Amino acid sequence: MIEDTIAAISTPLGEGGIGIVRLSGKDSIALVDRIFCSPKNKSLKDSKSHRIIYGCIKDPSNDREVDEVLVTIMRSPYSYTREDVVEINCHGGMITLQKTLELVLREGARLADPGEFTKRAFMNGRIDLSQAEAVLDLIKSKTDESRRIAIEQLQGGLSEKITTLRDRMTDICVHLEAYIDFPEDEIVPASKHDMLETMKDVDSELQKLITTYDEARFFREGLSTAIIGRPNVGKSSLLNALLKKDRAIVTESPGTTRDVIEEYLNIKGLPLRIMDTAGIRDVEDIAEKEGVKRSLQSIENADLVIAIFDRSESLKNEDFEVIDKIKDKNAIIALNKCDLLPSFDKDEIVSRLTIYDSRVLDISAMRGDGIEELKDMIFHSCLKNWKEAREGIVVTNLRHKIAIEHAQASLKKALSALLESQPLEIIALEIRDSLDRLGEIVGAVATEDILNRIFNEFCIGK
C-alpha cells in the first residue's frame, strides 16, 4: 500500500483554456476538501465517484479565492492510478495553477516525480510495464501511425503476446521439473518431441517480434535522412521541394549551404527528420570546411541517405567521392535537373554501387518532377516488411527488443541442450532464464533500476 498522496500540474506550462492540477492517493479527496468550497457547501467527501463539482479554490490562511474551478473525483479503484484521484480544472494560466498546486502541497500532498501517476498505475496492477511505456509513446507520437502502434501496445497487444509465449515455456518447465524430481523416469520420446516443437515455434515467434523492431522504430523516432552531394547539385532545392516551402537558401554559386539544416516531414505517416547539408568538396575556407565535416558526420548517423547528382553536367571527382561515401549505406540516388539535357548515363553511378536500378530516379527539384516518386521510394526503402508487420504485434521499444533477444538466446541454448540430451537441469535453467527475460518486458520481473529509468523519461503530472 502506497501511503503518500502526490500532486502535480498535469497540463503543459503556458496559457490555455483550462489547466489541471491532479492528485492521487488516499488523502487526495479530504485534502482538496480543505481548500475547496462549492456554492451549496457540498463537500467532495460526500460526492459520488466520477462527478464534476463546481466551486472555488480558497486559500485557508486568508480565506481569499484563488480560482473558480471544476473538480472531478474518481474513487479507487476506478481511476488512472487505482487510487483516489482528484483533478482540479483551473483556468489555464501559470499563476492560478501554481497557486493551486502550492495550496495542495501545503495541505500535505507531495510533488509527484516524473511519471509517478503512471508508475502507481503499474504498481497497483492496473497496467503492466509495457503498457506504462506505451503511455509515453502515445504522448510523444509524431504521426498517426506511431500513435496507432502506441495505443495497441497500451491496450495490451504486446503484453498478451508475451504472456502467451511465457505460458508455453512455463508448461515446458513444469514438465521438465517433473522429470527432474523423479530421476528414475526416462523422458519419453513423444514428450521430448513435443517440447522440441514448442521451443522451435516460440523461437520463431520471438524472431518475428525482433524483426518488427527496426521498422517500427522509424515510426516512433523518425527516420533520419541526409541529403548529400557535391556543391550546387540542388540539395537545398530538393529540401525545399519536399517541404513545399522556401526553407533553405538556394543560389547558383557553389558552397551556399554551410550548416546542416534540419526539418521534419511526414510521408504516409512516417516521420522523416531530413537534413540538408553542405556540398562535399575540398576547400580552404574554414566555415565551409567545417560544413563539409558535418555533412560527412550526418552520412554516418543517417538511417537513409539521398545522394544527389546533377545530371546536366558530367560526373566530377567530387561526385565519385560521394559515391565512395555511400557504398555501404542505405541510399537512394536522385539524378537532379532532369529538365535539362542529360550528360551521363545512370549506369556510370550504378555500376560503382551495389544499389539496384530501383533505387535510382530522375528528378527536377526546381520543377517538381519525380518528387512524389522519391517520397514513395523513401517510404519503401526503409519499410520492406512493413505491410506484414503492421498486421501483427510490433515491438517499438529498445528495452523490449533487447529482452526478447536475450530470451531467444537462452531458448536456443535450451533447444540445443535438449537435442544433445544434456542434463534436464541445464535445459530447465535456460528456459527459466528465458522466461525471466520476457518477464522484464511486462514487469513481472522488474528491478527498481529498470523502473526508475523508465519513469524518469515521463513528464511530471503523467
Binding site for ligand GTP (CB under 6 A): 229, 231-237, 250-252, 254-257, 278-279, 336-337, 339-340, 364-366
Binding residues for Mg ion, total number by CB under 5 A: 4
Give alpha helix (H) positions in 222-357. Answer: 235-243, 286-301, 317-325, 347-350
Residue whose C-alpha is closest to residue 399's, from 347, 442, 365: 442
Q: Does 256 bind Mg ion (CB under 5 A)?
A: yes
What CA–CA distances, in Å, run from 48 to 73, 122, 123? Answer: 8, 25, 25
Residue whose C-alpha is closest to residue 1's, from 89, 83, 102: 83
Beta carbon nearer to Mg ion, 92 or 254: 254
Partner touching 255 among ligand GTP, Mg ion, none, CB below 5 to 8 Å by kind: ligand GTP
Partner touching 252 among Mg ion, ligand GTP, none, CB below 5 to 8 Å by kind: ligand GTP
C-alpha cell at 405: 533477444
Whole-number minimum distance, CB 250 to Mg ion, in Å?
7
Q: Does 434 bind Mg ion (CB under 5 A)?
A: no
Q: Does 240 bind Mg ion (CB under 5 A)?
A: no
Q: Does 118 bind Mg ion (CB under 5 A)?
A: no
Q: Which residue has the cell 521498422?
A: 215
Cβ atoms 368, 104 nearer than 8 A: no
Partner touching 339 among Mg ion, ligand GTP, none, CB below 5 to 8 Å by kind: ligand GTP
Whole-number minimum distance, CB 213 to ligand GTP, in Å?
34
* Interface stretch with Mg ion, choices 97-105, 210-218, 236-244, 364-372 (CB under 5 A): 236-244
- What element of type H or E holds 452? helix 448-455
Whole-number minimum distance, CB 297 to ligand GTP, in Å?
16
CA dihedral (90, 92, 98, 99) positive or negative: negative
Neighbours of 266 (CB within 10 A): 13
Q: Does 236 bind Mg ion (CB under 5 A)?
A: yes
Q: Does 257 bind Mg ion (CB under 5 A)?
A: yes
Beta carbon nearer to ligand GTP, 42 or 247: 247
Whole-number minimum distance, CB 229 to ligand GTP, in Å?
6
Alpha-carbon dihedral angle through residues 152, 121, 52, 12, given to the nearest 10 degrees: -70
What CA–CA distances, in Å, run from 101 to 39, 47, 64, 94? Answer: 22, 22, 15, 11
Closest residue to ligand GTP: CB criterion: 279
Beta carbon nearer to ligand GTP, 195 or 228: 228
Q: Does 211 bind Mg ion (CB under 5 A)?
A: no
Whole-number minimum distance, CB 344 to ligand GTP, in Å?
16
* Interface stretch with Mg ion, choices 100-108, 227-235, 345-353, 372-380 (CB under 5 A): 227-235
Beta carbon nearer to Mg ion, 214 or 259: 259
CA distance 54 to 36: 10
Whole-number minimum distance, CB 54 to Mg ion, in Å?
58
* Cβ-based burial of 112 (10 A; exposed 0-12, middle 13-18, buried ≥19): buried
CA distance 141 to 161: 22
Partner touching 231 among Mg ion, ligand GTP, none, CB below 5 to 8 Å by kind: ligand GTP
Neighbours of 419 (CB within 10 A): 12
Whole-number minimum distance, CB 276 to ligand GTP, in Å?
7
Partner touching 355 among ligand GTP, Mg ion, none, CB below 5 to 8 Å by kind: none
Radius of gyration over alpha carbons of the chain, in Å?
Answer: 29
Beta carbon nearer to ligand GTP, 59 or 339: 339
CA distance 302 to 318: 20
Binding interface with Mg ion (CB under 5 A): 235-236, 256-257
